Amino acid sequence: MTGADDPDELDEVQPPSTEIRPVTEQEADAGEASSSTAVAESASVETDAGVSMLSVYRHDVHKSRGRSHEDAAAEFAGVPVNESVPLGADSDAALLSRPRGEPAQSVKNHISPFRLSLVTGETATSAGRVEGGIRSALAELVQTEDSVEMHAAWLESAVASIFNESVYYPYTSLKFHTLLTAALVDNYRAGCGFDELYLVVDQAEDAEADPRVVPHRTVLVLPSFALRITGEPGEKPAARLGAAPAMSWADVWTRLPEHPFDLDDGRMWRVVDAQLRRIQSWSTALQFIEESYGWWQALQRSSRLGGGEQ
């Protein structure tokens, strides 16, 4: 067992591993990213009423330890985890970010639960960047007992963003896979089919106000705007997700009638927007936006000290 697999050793930063993961994880990954709502719905609907949104947010905690569903513990930090997600939402969210079918290692010599950053090209974290340590931060995240507070905690979580949603696709994000899964569950329970869903931009009403956050529907929040998944876009800028779950981020982003970035506000955001028109994976793209914003903030602070274009 490696440090990445042992929850007691999460705070020890692991180098990229060349170990071949167990076949059980590969099989689980293939199944997760091959089923559709139509396939899974009949098996899930009977248990849907008994599955809380808390279970949805906790369902993939085992991925922070590099484990498959089959090999994962049923409990972490004193709460139940690794429970089934209803209505095929987990599989559908996986299809938004990963290829359908048998997974293949996409980055040589990086078989690790730690995410690779599209912004820096490096592993997304070290233990020193997570206040209190990785294990402690994860425990605090999953121990929340109110589902709305849990949603808010995942939106703000730093520790969830350091892990990928699959060791085979290390640029993906466990944080945004989980938020996408929750958004799909909530919309499916409201009676929406996948083909009725939209990506919606919620802009902050003014510079002093935070953007609107809709429990379980908002999948990304920044100071000036938020993104959410809903079947009721209203008059907000929105684009349909498509007929069925697929790695369609670039297409959906390009079809938005308005974009939340001020492309006149510096070269960096023009570069970010250009990249978002190429990225296909949803969790990768959402993580890229969040991480790019962090770098933009750092550049803004640097500019105030030394001047120069952003």
In a domain, 119, yes or no: yes
Closest CA to 5 of 52, 66, 77: 66
Q: Which residues contact 52 (CB under 8 A, 6 or more apart)?
A: 147
Mean pLDDT lowest among 114-128, 156-170, 277-291: 114-128
In a domain, 237, yes or no: no
Read off the pLDDT band of 247 (50, 70, 90).
very high
Report whether 152 contacts 213 (CB < 8 A): yes
Report whether 127 contacts 30 (CB < 8 A): no
In a domain, 231, yes or no: no
Q: What is the pLDDT of residue 301?
A: 72
Q: What is the pLDDT of residue 2?
A: 38
Q: What is the pLDDT of residue 255?
A: 97
Structural domain boundaries enclosing 72: 7-186
pTM, whole model, 2 decimals?
0.83
Question: Is residue 188 scored above 80 in pLDDT?
Answer: yes
Q: What is the pLDDT of residue 205?
A: 83
Question: Is residue 246 scored above 80 in pLDDT?
Answer: yes
Query: Could you report the per-residue pLDDT of 218-227, keeping only the tens digit for each?
Result: 999 998 899 9
CA–CA separation, 74 and 172 (whole Å): 24
The mean of the pLDDT values for the chain is: 81
Residue 159 burial (CB count, 10 A): 24
Q: What is the pLDDT of residue 101?
A: 75
Query: Could you report the per-residue pLDDT of 95-140, keeping only the tens digit for each?
Result: 999 998 776 676 766 778 899 999 988 888 644 466 668 889 999 9
Q: Work out how many domains the chain is built from and give that number.
A: 1
Closest CA to 258 of 207, 199, 213, 212: 199
- Per cent of the chain over pLDDT 70 is 75
Q: Which residues contact 9 (CB under 8 A, 6 or more apart)?
A: 3
Q: What is the mean pLDDT of residues 281-295?
A: 93
In a domain, 302, yes or no: no
Question: Is residue 3 scored above 50 in pLDDT?
Answer: no
H or E element: which one contains 228?
A: strand 225-230
Tell which wins on pLDDT, 63 or 217: 217
Strand partners, 199: 229, 239
Query: Could you report the per-residue pLDDT of 7-50, keeping only the tens digit for each?
Result: 344 544 333 332 223 323 343 455 566 544 433 443 344 456 67
Q: What is the mean pLDDT of residues 271-286?
A: 96
CA–CA separation, 276 and 125 (whole Å): 23
